[in-house]
């Protein structure tokens, strides 16, 4: 999966029945192997035009759930552009895998100290109180990584308490963990503030916030 440095876009399709989607990625390394780090979350069915427009106005606008039929239809993953020869990963039916992932997510939330039942029926998710773009600044770029010309992508999760203040920071994935992880958590715990999640009765509750930080040099 070698590619020149810099942001690029892959064409991905989950199963023959679902639409193809364009997903941005950055070239990175996993150990000693070249890899692609996708720069955003993916759904097996991409957002519709109406959903995209709604999310442009309201970041947490509701999305139509992925149906059981759509989950069952995923038996392969196709990757086209920018590969010269398209690649197909034969996964077999993913329906049982999706069910296992849902169960795993519920279990993870419990380990994170979140009430799963209360969280599923929440009336409002955690939302940033200000722009996430101001939480990390150009001067926060780790000097050692900057001198090496080393970019980085860090996917993080913050546990957010009932007052909208981060209670814990966890790095979920990082392209260069030794260079960037500590900086990300240190700055986010200090600077990130939120409007807390509300349960179905409108009471503040502990929840979580996930996002990705990109350390990149200007083109």
Is pLDDT of 218 > 60? Answer: no
DSSP label of 196: P
For residue 191, what pLDDT band results from cuts at 50, 70 and 90?
very high
Lowest model confidence (mean pLDDT) among 24-28, 38-42, 154-158, 201-205 = 38-42
pLDDT tens-digit readout, 71-115 = 989 999 999 988 889 999 999 998 889 889 888 888 888 888 888
**Which pLDDT belongs to residue 217?**
66
The class (CATH top level) of 116-215 is alpha beta
pTM tops 0.75: no
Question: How far apart, in whole angstroms, are the C-alpha atoms of residue 43 and residue 63?
Answer: 11
Instruction: Tell me the domain boundaries of the chain.
Output: 8-101, 116-215
Roughly how many angstroms between the first and final C-alpha of the chain, as a whole number? 22
- DSSP code, position 64: P
The DSSP secondary-structure symbol of 202 reads: S
At residue 209, the pLDDT reads 92
The neighbouring-strand residues paired with 166 are: 160
Q: Are 183 and 191 in contact (CB under 8 A)?
A: no
Average pLDDT over residues 142-153: 75
Q: So what's the pLDDT on residue 18?
A: 94
- Tokens 């930080």 identify what position? 213
Please tell me the predicted confidence (pLDDT) of residue 102. Answer: 86
Position 203 pLDDT exceeds 90? yes
């Amino acid at each position: 999966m070698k590619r020149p440095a810099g942001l690029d876009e892959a064409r991905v399709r989950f199963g023959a029945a679902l639409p193809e989607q364009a997903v941005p990625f950055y070239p990175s390394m996993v150990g000693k192997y070249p890899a692609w780090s996708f720069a955003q979350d993916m759904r097996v069915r991409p957002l519709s035009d109406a959903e995209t427009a709604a999310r442009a106005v309201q970041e947490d606008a509701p999305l139509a759930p992925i149906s059981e039929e759509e989950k069952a239809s995923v038996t392969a993953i196709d990757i086209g552009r920018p590969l010269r020869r398209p690649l197909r990963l034969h996964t077999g039916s993913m329906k049982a895998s999706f069910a296992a992932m849902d169960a795993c997510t519920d279990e993870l939330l419990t380990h994170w100290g979140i009430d799963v039942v209360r969280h599923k029926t929440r009336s409002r998710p955690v939302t940033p109180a200000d722009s996430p773009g101001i939480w990390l600044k150009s001067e926060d770029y780790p000097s050692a990584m900057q001198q090496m010309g080393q970019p980085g992508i860090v996917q993080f999760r913050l546990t957010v308490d009932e007052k909208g203040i981060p209670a814990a920071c966890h790095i979920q994935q990082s392209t260069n963990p030794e260079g960037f992880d500590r900086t990300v958590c240190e700055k986010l715990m200090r600077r990130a503030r939120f409007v807390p999640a509300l349960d179905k009765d409108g009471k503040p509750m502990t929840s979580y916030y996930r996002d990705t930080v990109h350390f990149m040099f200007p083109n």
